[in-house]
Structure 1
């Protein structure tokens, strides 16, 4: 299985610690101050990266929804104006780029359209992510593929044939696959974590990760124990904040616990070679009636 260098400090793939991504997405609600607070909390928790979403509103918003009005924390407005309000531009991403470098945490985005890819190339991200909704957008994948950078392909809301079609068309070079179920929040019985093994068996040379939308933490830790090379969870300062992704997000205290549990599990996995540890010698002398010669030698 391959691994890909995605920053000066971290790689994603075989033989590497799980790459932990705090998905800020649009949970910043258009506020650079909130985005910076989320970056602070992700870095403090020990996450490897924060991820945002980048859209060109006029391209990604269906025209029949442009003028539908909705209530927002900023008043009643049309949907297209709302999409523009929460979208960061050059100045905000330049500030995010500088801030993440200061905090020594990676950042990148999910681009939802080709213009967004051109926009993000100004910041030379080390990796790109495709949201599950984009798995069948082959033009968008081709745009990123042409950049010769690692890219993460999420597989939520997709059939096996759709996954196979994308991989067959674009090959496995620079590819990282993330198993996902696109329900917000996702009930445990629909997480289907064994798909991690299915994808590993299907594409043995491709790093396989997990993008989760559940409310708990244990299943994300389980994904790492099953071999996920990366994990991604939506991240928020407060699940009660306004926004469609907040309820399925992890708060700072939960992210700290998630990162700690993942790192503990990685240490606990060991190497599969049975040995008698020094910490076992005293209990062995005290509790065993018969100590084998080999064990006696180890205990000396």
Structure 2
């Protein structure tokens, strides 16, 4: 039977490898996608997700996350949750609740604490230094404070043809207290249906949520489009239309996988993603838009990977 997983950004690679092992060994799509996201959340050098994630303008790390079961369509989500190591695990627990399955702020944090989830200060010294540096830059140079909004989003397919989707992010760097992006919003940041497939998004949430693009990609796959065609046809025309109607469009990147393990990607920026299936060993790939209509996909170079590792571990000065 087919299995597969796809996730946003290079930072998901180790998580994709762990999810692949679970799926190869007949594990569930839900367990695989949670493990994938947990791996990213726990790594302190990824500045846009989980532990070590960049804080809001008040220096507080507030995280958004979601989980969706493609068999039952059950969903759970958290917004602006604080002091929780694995926000996506809280979201998965909430997906089992018929009522109150989307919790935000203090209510989300209280739920996590009462139900035994690992609690910790998510602001590392490294992230604090980056925040302090940014505050000084804003004061001295009158810079735009907003920088960095990379979500880890993933889709998984197991050997029983069950699928799951999940997202996690610390959101927009220097965001206002309580700001929530697209990542925990059904149909915008994620959507999955085991009868069809799933999609997940990363980029500027305020603009992604204007198009409900994850749901639109799944809808197109349901009508018979291959994942790559569905991504191209959903994302690029919307970006063009948004620029015309709204005047601008932020960064958009979406990944998708159908229930056969076929996958697709669309983006308006240089975008890395990770994918593994029963037919394809885990790999990191680079996507770029072509004429704002199609997507060029190619392997990342070792030079790029080396530069990436150097950049994320560089001292904050």
* Higher percent of residues as strand: 2
* Higher percent of residues as helix: 1
TM range (shorter): 0.3 to 0.5
Higher radius of gyration, 1 or 2: 1
Please give the TM-score of this superposition, normalised by the length of structure 2. 0.32
